[in-house]
Amino acid sequence: MRAVLHHGERDVRVETVPEPVLTEPTDALVRVTLSCICGSDLWPYRRTTPPEEPSRIGHEFLGVVEQVGADVRTLRVGDLVIAPFKHSCGECEFCLRGLQTSCVRGGFYGTPEEAGAGQGEKVRVPNADGTLVVAPVGVDDPRLPALLTLSDVMATGHHAAVAAGVGPGSHVAVIGDGAVGLCGVLAARRLGAERIILLSSHPDRAAIGRTFGATDVVEVRGDAAVERVRAMTDGLGVPHVMECVGMQGSWDTALGIVKDGGRIGYVGVPNGVTEGLALGRIFRRNVTIAGGVAPARAYLPELMADVLDGSLDPSPVFDLELPLEQAPEGYAAMDERRAIKVLLRV
């Protein structure tokens, strides 16, 4: 089968790899119909040290169940399923509490021995019952791109909003105008936020942000952004801040604009956060820091319900659509910020 392989710095290729097979009775084999490229896929893509050997990549996909193990109870061959970006058993304490990302039996797709990942024609999904969510739609449904976002990016934006404590009437700032930040805007609006300040210096992204619910856009960066947001909020800052980048600069902005007693909900993978979080900057101000890797599986049912009833549509974050074979062009487009997020048709 065909799949994307990461060879080295800015070098991904679509090549022929062995097909995965069922190995555990709780596995399912999924034929991927839609996949996409995540902002976090760009970190290995940009890394100057190549992997020891070409490695599979990708963790967002949906597709059709092709085969199930003997112990799989809730899935049937032919089901269209959405895969959260990590698999999880559905039965441990963490899964039952909605923190499937900490599942004691869960993990990422593929193992060191048997490569496997979302940017390819098929995926072996361990813990299939606990992981996959059946979408009651056909393979030609126009809502599939929107449903695919629930695999990671929309779930992650939602997690930022939940972690930041966003609710009806909230005043919110969103740091990051990538796909996650934009989904964060959508999530904040969905949760009832009244004012949503999006920090975005890219007019095209800001435009999507406005259609997603941003009431204000701050197009300057760094200290100027902190000053601007403070000026917009009587000098006091914003009670709910969503940090959707994960760099030192975005954290500095988050700490600069958050109101005393407020919450920073963060979902940006810490990358280039060189100094650690300066506790001295928040101690006197009682700022809460919450978030982390999003338990997409926990949020999938409620978000899917909203996609299916038409009240939620994150699909505009996909501004470039390519066949799997052109994945390398998709990576380059996202790397060069020519595209926000690339949908791959498999």
Which residue ranges make up the site for a copy of itself (CB under 8 A)?
93-94, 97, 99, 101-102, 163, 236, 251, 260-261, 266, 269-270, 273, 275-280, 282-293, 295
Rounded CA separation 121/176 (Å):
31
201 or 271: CB nearest a copy of itself: 271
Rounded CA separation 186/190 (Å):
6
71 or 260: CB nearest a copy of itself: 260
Q: How far is the CB of 286 from a copy of itself (least distance, A)?
A: 4
13 or 97: CB nearest a copy of itself: 97
Q: How far is the CB of 291 from a copy of itself (least distance, A)?
A: 7
Q: How far is the CB of 188 from a copy of itself (least distance, A)?
A: 19
211 or 286: CB nearest a copy of itself: 286
H helix intervals, 296-336: 296-308, 327-335
- Inter-residue contact 327 to 344 (CB < 8 Å): yes
- Inter-residue contact 277 to 251 (CB < 8 Å): yes
Q: How far is the CB of 31 from a copy of itself (least distance, A)?
A: 30
Rounded CA separation 316/333 (Å):
16
- Distance from first CA to last CA of the chain, Å, rounded? 11
Q: How far is the CB of 76 from a copy of itself (least distance, A)?
A: 32
User: Which pair of structure tokens corresponds to residue 247?
Assistant: 């760099």
3-class DSSP state of 286: coil
22 or 264: CB nearest a copy of itself: 264
Residues 6+ apart with CB under 8 A from 251: 243, 266, 273, 277
H helix intervals, 92-202: 93-96, 128-131, 144-148, 153-163, 179-190
269 or 327: CB nearest a copy of itself: 269
136 or 283: CB nearest a copy of itself: 283
Q: How far is the CB of 296 from a copy of itself (least distance, A)?
A: 12
Q: How far is the CB of 261 from a copy of itself (least distance, A)?
A: 4
3-class DSSP state of 147: helix
User: Which residue in this structure is represented by tokens 């390398």?
Assistant: 328
39 or 145: CB nearest a copy of itself: 39
Residues 6+ apart with CB under 8 A from 138: 80
Rounded CA separation 258/237 (Å):
5
Q: How far is the CB of 38 from a copy of itself (least distance, A)?
A: 15
